[in-house]
Every structure is written in structure tokens, then in C-alpha cells.
Structure 1
């Protein structure tokens, strides 16, 4: 009995883990690029063009920069005091897109819609089920001496509306993204 419960618990855990939204990571280095050839990094100034961007948005941008700096420092780089002193510049792009989840009505199980005198029609239509946000972070590493991009990566996932869960998702996503940079 105990063995059956243990197996059922593991199966349930695997199913829940498989159903959780995953972060999609894409990484594209320039030929012969390695992170070990650089010593200091700095962020390029982020311009905000979103009207709704307020203190919450700025807080998440700041947290994202902190997390990226922490991950890069763990890989052996140091943050430069200014962009002039850095041998690697970081350009961030952040997009949050609101999506609508819909389902199509079924002409077999959904009742027909009455249109007029003895005219019944079966039309399928889209019904809104829910709304969610998809967040995308793109990171471009630029060599300021050569003035060219040496690595680009993106992380995309469905993001939570809860601030504490969103911070956890940012931490995990940035860790996966920085792990994909060639040493």
C-alpha cells in the first residue's frame, strides 16, 4: 500500500512539473565568442516607451538588471562604474504582451442560435476563456571596441500577475539565459 502511494505521489509530481509553463530560451553567439575574454560589463540605458510604465515596471527593470549583474558576476565578470570603462555592454529589451485565451464553440454539444422565423443556424464562434501575459526579455551583448553584437539571447514565458511569483520567474529565467552564454 505504501509503495502504491509513493508511486502515485511521484506520478502526480511529474504531471504537475510537466504542466508548468516552461521558459523558452534562445541563444545565438557570434563566431569565436567566449565570455572569458571580457572583464567588465555595463548596461546601456533603457528607454521606456510604454504609457502604463510606472513605478512597478521600473522596479522590475531594476530587479532584472540586478539579477543579470549577479549571474554575470558569478561567471567572473565585474560591473563597471560607467559604460566608458566597460569592455562589454548589455542592451536589454523587455516586452510584456497581454494575450486572450479563447475556445471555439462546438456545433455538436452547444445549442443552436435562433436567428429568426424558423431559421436555426449552427455557427461556431470564439469564446473568451481567460487572459494571461507573455513576457519576453532579450539581452544583447555588445563589444564597444568593435561596435558589434557578440551574443544575443531571449527568454520567453507566461508570467504571473503576483509580484513574488514574478520575481521568482525572473530569477530562474535569467539564470537559464546566462547559463546559455558560452564560457
Structure 2
């Protein structure tokens, strides 16, 4: 009995650690009072209004994102239709370049003293890399009332030039968001 409990506890600990290391994190979700996804049967997407250089590198991924959302909502019992859907989905996508830094520290980065007078050492931020962070916001809008009934946002690092890894992150982020819809 104790052995099976120890094994169960070890597996639970490993699963928790893996979930904590996920590159995707849900930032926020909010639902209207009384909103339940099961009260709706159909959905569709609003038209994307971005174009040109802003959308060009991520255009193919937008289609994949819609496909993933469609798949997740179909698993929850909804059907995609273009004629008067119960829910309309508005997507917001922001990709921003971020700078990764570290702070210099007297214990780990001691100054090199050359015998100069009035030498001072100051802690400062040192750039160690650059990366892109993508944020996806999903708004569910009750089409009949034209009111938002649920919103959620997720963020993660956007892999450079690796379509398979990017699509895996999109799938993971969409799954995490859709699971949180009541």
C-alpha cells in the first residue's frame, strides 16, 4: 500500500513539474455571470482586419490557429457554421520582441581592479538575448445580443523559423484556453 502511494505521489510530482515548465501560460480568463458554453451550438470567426507586413509572416499560422480552435470547440460539442452562428470568435494576436537580461552582481561578476583612483563598480543589466513573445486573446461574443460573454488570453515564446514547434505551442495554448471555458 505504501509503495503504491509513493509511486502515485512520485508520478503526481513529475506531472506537476512538467506542467509548470510549459512554455505557454494562461494570463487571464473572464466569463459573464451564468455563461455556459453548452448553451450554444454553433460558432464562427470574425474576419481578420490586419493585412500587409503585419500579418505576412504569421498568415499561415492564423489558419492553423483557427483550425485548432475549431477542433477544440467541436470536441466540446459546437459546430462551425458561417450562417448566423450563436457565438462569434474574435482573435487578437500580438507578437512583440523582448530582451532577456541579467543583472551583474558583485559576488558572481567581481570588478577587475587596475589600481585606478576613484574606482567604482555598479550593478547593471546586461543583455543576454532577444526573443519574440506572442500573446493570443480570444473573445467569445453572443451573436444575438452582440455582447462578449467570455474572454481569455495566453502567452508564450514564439520559436524562430520552426513551424512545427510553433504549431505545437499554438495547439497547447488553444487547448489550455478552451479547457477554461465554463
Q: Specify the TM-score bucket, using the shorter chain as the normaliser.
A: 0.7 to 0.9
State the secondary structure of the residue aligned to 2:119.
strand
Give 1:110 deviation, angstroms: 3.1
Give the direction of change, closer, same or farther, for the CA distance of 1:72–1:20 in structure 2 (3 Å limit): closer
5+ residue gaps, structure 2: 1-6
Residue in 2 that maps onto 1:127: 126
Matches within 5 A, 1:52-63: 52-54=54-56, 56-63=57-64
Alpha-carbon deviation of 1:173?
1.2
Aligned residues: 170
Q: What's the Cα RMSD here?
A: 2.8
Match in the other structure for 1:3: none
Distance 2:172 2:108 in 1: 42
For the 8 Å contact 1:25–1:176, the answer to whether it is kept is no
- CA distance change for structure 1 residues 96 and 110 in 2, over 3 Å: closer, same or farther? same
Change (3 A) 1:178 1:19: closer
Distance verdict in 2 for CA 1:88–1:165, change over 3 Å: same
Q: In structure 1, what is the Cα distance between the partners aligned to 2:149 and 2:82?
A: 21
Aligned twin of 1:80: 81
Find the counterpart in structure 1 of residue 30 from structure 2: 28
Report the equivalent of 1:4.
none
* 1:46 aligned partner: 48
| Superposition deviation, residue 127 in structure 1 | 0.8
Q: Within 5 A, what are the aligned runs for 1:68-107?
A: 68-82=69-83, 85-107=84-106
How far off its partner does 1:108 sit? 4.2
For structure 1, list consecutive stretches of 5 or more residues without a partner in the other structure. Answer: 1-6
